[in-house]
Structure 1
Amino acid sequence: MAASEVDVALDAASASYKGMSSDNIKGLVMALSSSAFIGASFIVKKKGLKKAGASGIRAGVGGYSYLYEPLWWVGMITMIVGEIANFAAYAFAPAILVTPLGALSIIISAVLAHIILREKLHIFGVLGCALCVVGSTTIVLHAPQEREIESVKEVWDLATEPAFLFYATLVIAIVLILIFHYIPLYGQTHIMFYVGVCSLVGSLSVMSVKALGIALKLTLLGTNQLIYPQTWVFALVVISCVLTQLNYLNKALDTFNTAVVSPIYYVMFTSLTILASVIMFKDWDRQNPTQIVTEMCGFVTILSGTFLLHKTKDMVDGPKHADEENGFGEEGIPLRRQETLRTT
């Protein structure tokens, strides 16, 4: 009797888990490639920003001298390659699978920052990296299957439902308030304002990227979606959002430590993107409560890893450099400002 009950339970479990679809696997591979490129681009761009700031006006105070720095462009091209891979990933897999894998870019960024930028990675930072990997694996194994969409008009209908329209309007209003009121006053001393703009705008850009990716995928499969105006509207939104993200991400990277910017940006961006995807594409409607809870546990595990990576910077005790003795950190930021960040 007990054995038969066990067999029934095993059969039910195997039936509930159908494995990853071929589209999800394609999205997974592209998302992993994207993380590798983007993680490396943070470091290369940071080197370019520091080099440009030494001979011109820093991006953190409104300068654009980095546009004349070849190293920054190398990092920019690397990021573009990563974003293209990320773009393709969203065309095949749901955002709740693709977006959390950005944690791997944090690991790559932290390791390269340790090697190239001499931003020390503490042993607990290594543990943080391991937690990110475990959390990412959990989400990958329990991610929902991609929604079947046959036309970009279907995506447009999802985007114009009242719930998502309310979310998009709220995001735009908050972004405008941050840009025109809070950033001029507190942008140089509080990291959350620069990163907040990037993350909020990023959640809208991912939804538009996914819509545009689906349109291009269907077009390549023989169903032309370029004839619909909705496709071009999504393309315009992508361009506007990406340019805004790049501008404020450059400011954040130039003003604050890379190992602080990366995890905070990841946590806010991923949380808001998952929220936007749940509202627009209704990812959780195709899952049972157990799968949803497991995904959230995986996400919390990733958040724990990013938290450890962030706190690691305060645990490393090393010899003071000459610029530290003069009251400045390695990025030309007064140490008093860094202490303020740690207490906010």
Structure 2
Amino acid sequence: MATQVQSPMSWRDSYRGMSSDNIKGLVLALSSSLFIGASFIVKKKGLKKAGASGIRAGVGGYSYLYEPLWWVGMITMIVGEVANFAAYAFAPAILVTPLGALSIIISAVLAHIILREKLHIFGILGCALCVVGSTTIVLHAPQEREIESVTEVWALAMEPGFLFYAALVITAVFILIFHFIPQYGQTHIMVYIGVCSLVGSLSVMSVKALGIALKLTLSGMNQLVYPQTWVFTLVVITCVLTQMNYLNKALDTFNTAVVSPIYYVMFTSLTILASVIMFKDWDRQSPTQVITEMCGFVTILGGTFLLHRTKDMTDGLTTSMSSLRLSKHAEEDGMDGAEGIPLRRQDSSRS
């Protein structure tokens, strides 16, 4: 009696591939990162020009509003944000948000070329890790949740878990703005970026809801008649204006190559957390997929950490080389660099 031998399943058979909506979201997210990464540099140039002739944004000035170069960067960022907005309408946040790593790479490289902000060799390695981590998440991202009305999104937002998260975020933002920013805004980078990231996690959830509403409206199911659509619109406008204000302060006060990766890590982490709570992305995935996504995200964190350390390592090397040159010149001049005492006088006193 002949036995039927089953052929081993190939990877093509086991891999289901990405849905058409996920592919659209992927393309839009990549385009968004290109525009946003370049906008960081253009806006930084505009902020520098505005600060040279007026009050810097980092100390509360708004002279950058009169600088055309800043508006070019702002328009570039708006184009990127529009593409990002559309991406959230087609793909889950856990797929779209980590692709912001590409904007880190672009801004770091352009900052090295245009702004002369040093990019260490380990910074290049960090960029590569960001790409690897993003690719891992893209290949294992969940399919988009099927939603047929904006009221479904509103019901998800009104669940106790997400309401508790939103209350924590709003409380933390008010504490940072009214207590920590007046004292530590100019010295601690995490204060400004903390506000941007916390508010950003709420704005992404509202952007996704609004994007779904517009997509359904264009497909023939009018969602503009629901008041929930306009509530989400109001939340988006409020959050985006808050993010823009404090991101400008962070860019004007601190190094761009440091602001971009730290902002990305915090923003992405909080957005994924908010999406998991609100849209329950991981409920539609196996434990293996979830663990793989987390490994990809940790890889991205490692890349952004290396990008952050690039500035410190470069500055440290420069400082140590400068001190070495000063010490060498001091010895040649017969002076002790530490105490300013002539070496020859010390020798004569010992004899």
Q: Settle same-fold status: TM greater than 0.5.
A: yes
Aligned to 1:195: 193
Instruction: Give distance in 2, aligned partners of 1:16 and 1:143.
Output: 15
Aligned to 2:58: 60
Instruction: Give distance in 2, aligned partners of 1:175 and 1:62.
Output: 18
1:256-289 deviation digits (Å, cap 9, x = unpaired)? 0001100000000000000000000000000000
DSSP-derived class of the 2:145 partner:
coil
Name the stretch that deviates more: 117-126 or 18-27: 117-126
Instruction: Give distance in 1, aligned partners of 2:223 and 2:118.
Output: 49
**Matched ranges for 1:83-162 at <5 A:** 83-162=81-160
Aligned mate of 2:78, from 80, 84, 87: 80
1:65-102 deviation digits (Å, cap 9, x = unpaired)? 00000000000000000000000000000000000000
Going from structure 1 to structure 2, the CA distance change for 1:5 and 1:166 (only over 3 Å counts) comes to farther
Aligned mate of 2:206, from 196, 205, 208: 208
Instruction: Give distance in 2, aligned partners of 1:52 and 1:75.
Output: 13
Instruction: Give distance in 1, aligned partners of 2:32 and 2:243.
Output: 17
Instruction: Give distance in 1, aligned partners of 2:96 and 2:110.
Output: 23
1:287 and 2:285 aligned: yes
Instruction: Give distance in 1, aligned partners of 2:313 and 2:152.
Output: 50
Aligned to 1:325: none
- Per the TM alignment, residue 218 of structure 1 is displaced from its structure 2 partner at its CA by 0.3
Aligned residues: 315
1:155-197 deviation digits (Å, cap 9, x = unpaired)? 0000000000000011000000110111111111101110000
- Per the TM alignment, residue 121 of structure 1 is displaced from its structure 2 partner at its CA by 1.2
Aligned to 1:48: 46
- Per the TM alignment, residue 315 of structure 1 is displaced from its structure 2 partner at its CA by 2.2
Instruction: Give distance in 1, aligned partners of 2:66 and 2:319.
Output: 34
The amino acid that maps onto 1:68 is: Y
Instruction: Give distance in 2, aligned partners of 1:4 and 1:46.
Output: 64
Aligned mate of 1:277, from 269, 275, 290: 275
Q: Percent identity?
A: 86
Aligned mate of 2:297, from 296, 299, 305: 299
Instruction: Give distance in 1, aligned partners of 2:292 and 2:93.
Output: 16
User: Which 5+ residue runs of structure 1 have no aligned equivalent?
Assistant: 321-344
- Per the TM alignment, residue 122 of structure 1 is displaced from its structure 2 partner at its CA by 1.2
1:89-131 deviation digits (Å, cap 9, x = unpaired)? 0000000000000000000000100110001111111111111
Aligned to 1:226: 224
Backbone CA RMSD of aligned residues: 1.6
Going from structure 1 to structure 2, the CA distance change for 1:6 and 1:76 (only over 3 Å counts) comes to same
Aligned to 1:312: 310
The amino acid that maps onto 1:286 is: R
DSSP-derived class of the 1:121 partner:
coil
1:137-159 deviation digits (Å, cap 9, x = unpaired)? 00000000000000000000000
With the length of structure 2 as denominator, give the TM-score of the two structures: 0.87
Instruction: Give distance in 2, aligned partners of 1:14 and 1:112.
Output: 38
The amino acid that maps onto 2:87 is: A
DSSP-derived class of the 2:47 partner:
helix
Aligned to 2:340: none
Aligned to 1:170: 168
Instruction: Give distance in 2, aligned partners of 1:295 and 1:142.
Output: 6
- Per the TM alignment, residue 313 of structure 1 is displaced from its structure 2 partner at its CA by 1.1
Going from structure 1 to structure 2, the CA distance change for 1:4 and 1:49 (only over 3 Å counts) comes to farther
DSSP-derived class of the 2:144 partner:
coil
Aligned to 1:255: 253
The amino acid that maps onto 1:263 is: P
Instruction: Give distance in 2, aligned partners of 1:31 and 1:274.
Output: 15
Larger radius of gyration between Structure 1 and Structure 2? 2
1:22 and 2:29 aligned: no
Aligned to 1:342: none
User: Which 5+ residue runs of structure 2 have no aligned equivalent?
Assistant: 321-351
Aligned mate of 1:180, from 174, 178, 197: 178
* Structure 1 consecutive aligned stretches of length 4 or more whose deviation exceeds 3 Å: 3-6, 13-17, 317-320
Aligned to 1:267: 265
1:32-88 deviation digits (Å, cap 9, x = unpaired)? 000000000000000000100011000000000000000000000000000000000
Aligned to 2:331: none
DSSP-derived class of the 1:238 partner:
helix
- Per the TM alignment, residue 17 of structure 1 is displaced from its structure 2 partner at its CA by 3.3
